[in-house]
Amino acid sequence: MALAGRAGCRLGPVKAQRLLELARHGGSGAVVPLGGEWQAELAFGRLRLLRAPASRRVAPAEGWSLEGESGEGAWGGWRIRWSRETAPDLQPRAGLTAWFAPEALATEAQPLATEAQSLAVRRWMPGEKVRPLAGVGRRLIVRVFQDARIPRTRRSEWPVLVRQDDVVWIPGVCRSDALLPARGTEALRVDAEYA
């Protein structure tokens, strides 16, 4: 009760008992409402107290495409920025920045990608798979989230970058081996930031 109080969550004996039961017998991903904007979540062996912001930004129902040489867009609480830049020697699999071959973006001067082939930001779908960079085979996105220890309550608002129907990047979680640019060549740099 004292720890919750330090976080600003007032717990009485009944709600404290709910937390103890969750910690003792709950499965990973279990959530218990604590009243108001507070809830408790058991995720990967940790008990977390969460407060949903009053003005929580919800991810849009429809996705949107990356258009132009550079730009910026929002996806719920995420900011996605893109621009042209030289590709590095190596790309991290779980980074918040990824580089893609330039044909992933259509421009007026060089319409290489059609609308169906350009990169787009959207929600991930249950059952979808990704082929991890430097990995073997394809993995379910939900498994990739579990490996990265992303709690279940945060996964629904997580964006993915797709080309056609193939997931090519899950920011901060997994980069696919698709659309890799040659090192030192001009590429499309995409940065993701969670606000």
Q: Which residues 6+ apart lie within 8 Å of 169 measured at CB?
A: 98, 100, 160, 161, 175, 176, 190
Structure tokens at 79: 């900011």
pLDDT digit string (tens) for 17-28?
888 888 888 887
Q: How confident is the model at residue 140 (pLDDT cuts 50, 70, 90)?
A: very high
Phi, psi angle pair for 28, to nearest 5°: -60, 130
Distance from C-alpha of 173 to C-alpha of 146, rounded to nearest angstrom: 10
Distance from C-alpha of 84 to C-alpha of 186, rounded to nearest angstrom: 7
Q: How confident is the model at residue 8 (pLDDT cuts 50, 70, 90)?
A: confident
pLDDT digit string (tens) for 167-195?
999 999 999 999 999 999 999 999 999 87
Q: How confident is the model at residue 115 (pLDDT cuts 50, 70, 90)?
A: very low
> Pairing mode, if any, of strands 97-100 and 78-86?
unpaired
Distance from C-alpha of 167 to C-alpha of 179, rounded to nearest angstrom: 11
pLDDT digit string (tens) for 142-155?
999 999 988 888 88
pLDDT value at residue 69: 86
Look at residue 97 and tell me whether its pLDDT is greater than 90: yes
pLDDT value at residue 106: 53
